Amino acid sequence: MTSTFPDTPPTRPADHAEWIVAPATPAGTGAIAVVRLDGPGCWEAASRVWRSTRSVPPQARRLTRGQVLDVNGSVLDDALLAWFPAPHSYTGNDLVEFQCHGSPAVVAGLIEALCAAGARLARPGEFTERAFFNGQLDLAQAEAVANLIASRTREASRVALSQLEGALSREVNTVREGLINLAAEIEARLDFPEEEIETADRLRLLGAFETARKNLERLLATARRGRLFRDGARVVLAGRPNTGKSSLLNALVGMERALVTPHPGTTRDTIEATVDILGIPIVLIDTAGVRHAGVEEIESLGIERTLREVRGADLVLLVLDASSPLTAEDRALVGLLGEAPLLVVTNKCDLAPEGHNRRGWAQELGLSGTVESVSVCALDPDTLRPLEAAVARLLMGQGGPEGLTEAESATVTNLRHAERLRGAAEALGCARAAFEADQSGEFVMVDLNEALQALSEILGLSVDEAVLSRIFSRFCIGK
């Protein structure tokens, strides 16, 4: 029986020895633009387009002022240059960064000159890909780079940064090392199949299985929160006309995004706005009020779109009007919501009659006793805080917004990581069942090796090259 560990890393692409160049800053006009040049010996190309204003050559990892030259040798810009000799650079190769003025013409001219000097344009993510193959980052950390660039809230960037610093990789590697030790001990016993495992050893090995199971479950428990921080959530405001959905959206966004009038049917189409609610990037969707009498054709189309949005929502805010009794339209809408995750929001609480009981309303609408409800006034910002807390809690599950603390830095944000962790947990369960049933060690090893393979794929220690290509192709140019 041959185990699959140690892992065999993917083959380094042959073109990683080439010089590559790309802008590291966004397209368009800006004060400063950064152009990166990477590859073994790339200073040779840089020296052909650079003229130092001092007699001494540029020093490693220090900014030097000089002039950038175009393909004809004419001065293109007054700029700064920093070069990082291997292996002390982002990629692990020789790397040069030009900091020039942010003119698109200057950037294009510099890249043209570097290509004429022997470089080629970099592929999306090729700098980070080189960092991965040179051992500067593992694959989970490399993916965190893209997550950090794409983060839309401060909390999302914090989670991505912790991954980039290796928090998730360390947790995965801890589980992996434990399974390697476990597999090595079981595999060693294959040479002596006639010897029974002592009770103490059996309990110790079962303890190792249990520790790995708990660690995998703990990591998987963070996947829902991680997805929300990375991808955000769609939260739909639904209700009959004139309950204040548009006013509520405007209050949460902090600007007049939706038109507000006292006339029913004002919102004919869905209106979207992005907002940061306790670190979660949320797309709020204001929908057409649902009613049945006196509906125009265009409003009817808006109501159909409302119901489509409800079906695809991560959370639905059922907005009721606390200033008036429940109506048949309120009750009918509840029937249309189906199994959508729900939070009842009684708006206009400042106008509610004395003795108003929003909890009684939930029961009257036939909603489950576990459905939460909050009272708000869209015109009073202080009443929105409990709403925001409830939204975050329902989206993130048990623990709510307080459930992810600074200390809990290992968070699963990528679907690929979650799938591989689930695969590892399932294989580990099969291996443990085979071990407890006293099956042959070969059967235990088959499942243990499958679990190890899944964990190794997270770190990039063993992963299909097509998967690598797909991962790095999603990066921006220059990173």
- Does residue 47 sit in the same domain as residue 168? no
Q: Are residues 259 and 382 in the same domain?
A: yes
The pLDDT, as a whole number, for residue 292 is 52
342 and 283 within one domain = yes
Residues written for the chain: 479
> How many domains are there within the chain?
3
Q: What is the pLDDT of residues 396-422, one digit of tens each?
A: 875 554 544 443 568 999 999 999 999
Same domain, 71 and 217: no
Identify the bridge partners of residue 236 per DSSP, sorted by sequence position: 285, 316
Q: How far apart are CA 300 and CA 347, in angstroms?
A: 24
Examine residue 7 and state whether it is found in any structural domain, yes or no: no
Q: Strand order in 372-375's β-sheet?
A: 271-277, 280-286, 233-238, 315-321, 342-347, 372-375
- What is each CA distance from 145 to 6, 157, 442, in whole angstroms? 27, 10, 40
Banded model confidence at residue 250, pLDDT cuts 50, 70, 90 = confident
**Domain-located, residue 350:** yes
Q: What CATH number has the domain bearing residue 264? A: 3.40.50.300
β-bridge mates for residue 81, sequence order: 64, 98
Comparing CA positions, the residue from 380, 461, 471, 468 lying closest to residue 173 is 461
CA distance 11 to 440: 35
pLDDT of residue 117: 96
Rounded CA gap, 176 and 181, in Å?
9
CATH number of the domain enclosing 79: 3.30.1360.120
Question: Which element (helix H / strand E) includes 363?
Answer: helix 358-364
Per-residue pLDDT, 195: 59
Beta bridge partners of 37: 21, 96
Cα–Cα distance measured from residue 264 to residue 384, given in angstroms and rounded to the nearest whole number: 24
Could you list the residue range(s) of the whole structural domain that residue 179 is in? 141-222+411-473
Q: Would you say residue 132 lies in a domain? A: no
Q: Say what the pLDDT of residue 442 is.
A: 87
Residues 399 and 428 in one domain: no
8 is a domain residue: no
What is the DSSP code string of 19-30? Answer: -EEEESS-SS-E
- Please report the pLDDT score of residue 1 as a whole number: 46
Cβ atoms of residues 80 and 99 within 8 Å: yes
Q: How confident is the model at residue 235 (pLDDT cuts 50, 70, 90)?
A: very high
Domain end position, chosen among 51, 85, 118: 118
R_g over Cα of the chain: 29
Distance CA 163, CA 169 (A): 7
- The whole-number average pLDDT for the span 278-288 is 86
Last residue of a domain, one of 361, 385, 403: 403
CA 452 to chain centre: 24
Q: Average pLDDT, whole number, for the chain?
A: 85
Q: Which ranges of 405-440 would DSSP assign to H, the alpha helix?
A: 415-436
Q: How far is CA 291 from the centre of its chain?
A: 38
Nearest-10 crossing angle of helices 415-436, 223-231: 170
Tell me: do 432 and 331 sit in the same domain.
Answer: no
Query: Is 283 a member of any domain?
Result: yes
Q: Which is more confident, 300 or 93?
A: 93
- The CB density around residue 225, as the number of other CB atoms within 10 Å, is 26
Per-residue tokens: 86:
């291997």
Overall average pLDDT of the 323-335 stretch: 82
Does residue 266 carry a pLDDT above 80?
no
pLDDT band for position 303 (cuts 50, 70, 90): low
Q: Does residue 181 lie within any of the structural domains?
A: yes
d(CA 423, CA 144): 21
Max mean pLDDT among 32-46, 247-261, 350-364 falls in 32-46
Q: Are residues 247 and 210 in the same domain?
A: no
pTM above 0.85, yes or no: no
Q: Of residues 92 and 292, which shows the higher confidence score?
A: 92
The per-residue pLDDT for range 79-138, each reduced to its tens digit, is: 999 999 999 999 999 999 999 999 999 999 999 999 999 999 999 999 999 999 999 999
pLDDT mean over 238-252? 86
State whether 196 and 260 are in the same domain: no
Q: Which of 70, 87, 118 is the last residue of a domain?
A: 118
Same domain, yes or no, for 193 and 48?
Answer: no
- Claim to verify: residue 384 and residue 457 sit in the same structural domain: no
For residue 479, being part of any structural domain is answered with no
Mean pLDDT (whole number) for 279-295: 72
In 151-268, which ranges are continuous DSSP H helix?
A: 154-164, 167-188, 199-220, 223-231, 245-253
**Confidence band (pLDDT; 50, 70, 90) for 12?**
confident
398 shares a domain with 288: yes
Region 247-273 average pLDDT: 64
- Is 116:25 a contact under the CB 8 Å cutoff? no
Assigned domain for 84 exists:
yes
How high is the pLDDT of residue 407? 39
Report how far residue 91's alpha carbon sits from residue 475's, in angstroms, rounded to the nearest whole number.
15
Q: How many CB atoms lie within 10 A of CB 5?
A: 18
For residues 246 and 335, membership in a common domain is answered with: yes
**What secondary structure does DSSP assign to 117-184, as a single string?**
TT-EEPPTTHHHHHHHHTTSS-HHHHHHHHHHHH--SHHHHHHHHHHHTTHHHHHHHHHHHHHHHHHH
| CATH classification of the domain holding 205 | 1.20.120.430
Sign of the torsion angle spanned by Cα atoms 209, 212, 218, 223: negative
pLDDT at residue 138, as a whole number: 94
